[in-house]
Amino acid sequence: MSDDAVVEAADRAARVWAAAAPGPIVPGSEAHKAAFCDMLLDTHNPYKPSIIDWPELDPEARNRLVGLPIWDIAVQTEGKARLRVLSYGQTITDPLLQRAIDLDGFEEGRHKEVLSNLVQAYGIRLASEPEYHRPRDPEWAFIVTGFSECIDSVFAFGLFALAKSSGFFPPALVDTFEPVMQEEGRHIGIARGFDGAGNGEGGMVPQDNNFTLTGSKSVGAADLSIRALIDICLAENDRRLSGYDPRLLRPTVVPCLLRFVRCFLPRSASGAAAS
Residue pLDDT, tens place only, 160-219: 998 888 888 899 999 888 888 888 888 876 544 433 334 444 444 444 444 444 455 666
- Report if pTM > 0.75: yes
Inter-residue contact 253 to 150 (CB < 8 Å): yes
Contacting residues for 137 by C-beta, under 8 A, at least 6 apart: 198, 199, 200, 201
Per-residue pLDDT at 188: 77
State how far the Cα of 61 lies from the Cα of 216, in Å rounded to an integer: 17
Contacting residues for 84 by C-beta, under 8 A, at least 6 apart: 135, 138, 141, 142, 144, 145
Per-residue pLDDT at 209: 42
Assess whether pLDDT exceeds 90 at residue 224.
Answer: no
State how far the Cα of 192 lies from the Cα of 189, in Å rounded to an integer: 7
